[in-house]
Copies of this chain bind each other. A is one copy, B any other.
């Protein structure tokens, strides 16, 4: 049996990073539905992220996206965040929204575009120096829409060169998180399509480069917890971008599409004793709330991850290992399912109350008047928009 006090302690210590862009408008290629009260500035996004932390207690940092969150003074932004009770987290680069990047950024056939894109990566490290961020998160939309469009192998050479430059620029306590994605926006080939590609580059780069798993970036049928387990074994799992999907990169709330999968992922984390912030994995959200209210959706996502984590912590590992060693398929599966089938919401309510929080973060948020306030206040100016 799992020790309930240890479980509670682990849940209290858990940290989930929210993404600044998820508080802004988002949508599909068909339509972005704007929402009232959406932030217009990096500061307003930070205020929203702080609000999520205030009600959940486990979201103490917010990831930035450059240039969406570009400001004149990052030290000041950092201080602003601190005043609101959170800190600035990973710096995300954006080399996909400039017209120059139509045929790629760091893998573009044009050396001038590659230079520009690589410079942006270096700029992001400059910003990290100012924000005190540890993590440089790299996602490249680079790829091809048509067979023959460009040379697959040469693009890897270009990619490796740009990564090397960024890696060499890192400070001692900084690191690269290299994300991969099967497709979209490139529809034939992506330059970092899978964990293997990201892993191979990270190994060649060195110890400060690790893989970032976005749970929505895989081919159908991919066993994500296997990748989690494998990268943990290799010491190369650096971060998650949590979200959920039924089909492609749907970017729905974490845990909404397949809560059992999220539980299995968190079990591999727990089993490797990798949940604690000291282990170094950055558990981030990366989601789009196209039709639902943004702040409550992010709170809900945080809670879904907490619930999956609580269940993972409740797995009776002694019993599980014993059944596995005995080759008792049904019993081993049953031990795992016992934890999954447990209703952990009362436990999490206790954890929250112990931490001085409201046991029901969504209800507390609704009662707080925050939503009404931002709807009233944030009128005029330009709403922040991801992909818009």
A interface residues with partner B (beta carbon < 8 Å): 26-31, 33-34, 96-97, 99, 101-103, 109-110, 141, 145-153, 156-157, 182-185, 187-190, 193-197, 199-200, 203, 218-223, 225-227, 229-230, 232-234, 245-248, 250, 252-253, 256-260, 264, 268, 271-272, 290-293, 296-297, 300, 307, 320-321, 323-327, 329-330, 332-337, 340-343, 345, 362, 387
Contacts and interface: CB of A to CB of B under 8 A. Distances in A.
Given A148-B336, A248-B184, A200 B324 contact: no
A153 B232 contact: yes
Contact of A99 (B33, B188, B335): B33
Contacts of A323: 148
A376 to B, nearest CB: 20
In the A-B complex, the 3 residue pairs with the smallest Cβ-Cβ separation, listed nearest first, are: A196-B196, A148-B336, A219-B219
B230 A156 contact: yes
A207 B184 CA distance: 35
A30 B324 contact: no
Given A188-B252, A258-B258, 19 more contacts: A28-B185, A29-B387, A34-B99, A102-B291, A103-B327, A147-B256, A147-B333, A148-B337, A149-B324, A151-B324, A182-B221, A184-B247, A190-B226, A203-B203, A220-B221, A256-B333, A259-B340, A292-B330, A330-B362
Number of copies of chain A assembled together? 4
Contact of A146 (B29, B102, B252, B345): B252
